[in-house]
Amino acid sequence: MARPPGALVASLVAALVAGLLAAGAAPATADPIVPPGASDAVTALAQANARAADATEASLDAAEQLEVRQGEADRTRREADDARVVADAARAERDRAFVDVDQVSRAAYQGGQLDALGALLGSESPQAYLDRTALLDSISEDNRAIVQRFLDATAAAEGSERDAAARALDAERSASDAQRTADDAARRKVDADREVAAAERALAEASPDTLAALRSGGTTAYPTDIPGVGIAMDALRVALTQQGKPYVWGATGPSTYDCSGLVQWAYRQVGVGLPRVSRQQALVGVPVAPQDAQPGDLIFFNSPVSHVGFYVGGGKFLEAPQSGDVVKVSNVRSNVTGVRRIVL
């Protein structure tokens, strides 16, 4: 059974297209979610929420990048260690071959081949001498194989040493990258904590009317039995069961959520792992043109991306909007910067 297409109304198609086309010129921070006709107090609270959400997103993104960088550093260190083991083995093989060559040298002395073999072993480039037919003819077939093994082992040891050195350098660079990312994550965490604290103070000081106005719009009673098949629809139906639960910065469920935490949690329930933050979630799946959006598609807002929700059809989407509000279905806003479809 084919999944029914989402029926975006004409005005919202235009808004989606405009949002995507304007992505390059969009503001660097999240747009506040301000109800129409909101008072200055509501607008200020929404702006504080937007700054806190943007800072939290940046902090989580930096932490995720740190995990990736540390993984790369650990991997390159292991590769460097493996390369050193190979180099040590190659050097040991070279040393064993040298013992055999020394025995050949002694035998050559006793057999009158000292001058030829001495010239071979004492030269800076033994391989060049081996290329000379006259010298090869002066060494027995068995001895020639022994000498060649020594030369091969020496070349292998030198190559392994170079490889180990290169991998060790890569490991150092990866570790340095990880440290820089860690420092950046720490700075972003401080900024995020400051913005969240400011927003929490604003929420605590807000009047009941201001909080009610902030939560105005949308519904928490959207049907959860939307028809359709596929992993995206499965995740959407699960996410819809969370309507009415509070938004909390950095929360990933099951009692509170932020926007990307809701998306990640819903997909986890259907056996699919997604990145933690919205700007990373905006890179998974396949891109979808706004006019082709279907229920279950992920819809992203702001540039850089800092908000995400599930498109449910009819120009509406499920979101965990902002602090002071709850998971609900809202009208799609105009600051859309992408639509993605998760397919397996």
If one looks up domain 1-33+219-344 in CATH, what number appears? Answer: 3.90.1720.10
Give me the sign of the Cα torsion angle 246, 329, 63, 284: positive
Closest CA to 76 of 178, 209, 210: 178
Query: What residue spans of 278-318 are helical by DSSP H?
Result: 278-281
Q: Domain 36-216, what architecture?
A: Orthogonal Bundle (1.10)
Give the model's pLDDT for residue 314: 94
- Alpha carbon 137 to chain centroid, angstroms: 61
Provide φ and ψ at 286, rounded to 5°: -120, 145
- Residue 249's SS3 state is coil
Distance CA 235, CA 213 (A): 30
DSSP state of 340: E
Give the model's pLDDT for residue 110: 58
Give the model's pLDDT for residue 121: 52
Distance CA 123, CA 78 (A): 37
Residue 230: CA count within 13 A, CB half-sphere:
19
Give the model's pLDDT for residue 132: 46
Written as tens digits, the pLDDT of the chain (344 aa) is 333 333 333 333 343 433 333 333 333 456 677 666 667 777 777 777 778 777 777 777 777 777 887 888 888 788 878 888 888 887 788 787 777 766 766 665 555 444 555 555 555 555 555 554 445 455 566 667 777 877 787 788 788 878 888 888 887 887 788 788 778 877 877 887 888 788 778 878 888 888 888 777 899 999 999 999 999 999 999 999 999 999 998 899 999 999 999 999 999 999 999 999 999 999 999 999 988 999 999 999 988 888 999 999 999 999 999 888 999 999 998 889 999 999 98
DSSP state of 155: H
DSSP state of 225: -
**Domain residue spans of the chain:** 1-33+219-344, 36-216
What tokens does 287 get?
């891109």
pTM of the complete model: 0.63
Is residue 327 a contact partner of residue 244, using CB atoms and an 8 Å limit?
yes
Q: Indicate the residue type of 213.
A: A
Is residue 313 a contact partner of residue 226, using CB atoms and an 8 Å limit?
yes
Distance CA 257, CA 201 (A): 20
First to last CA, the chain: 16
Give the model's pLDDT for residue 75: 83
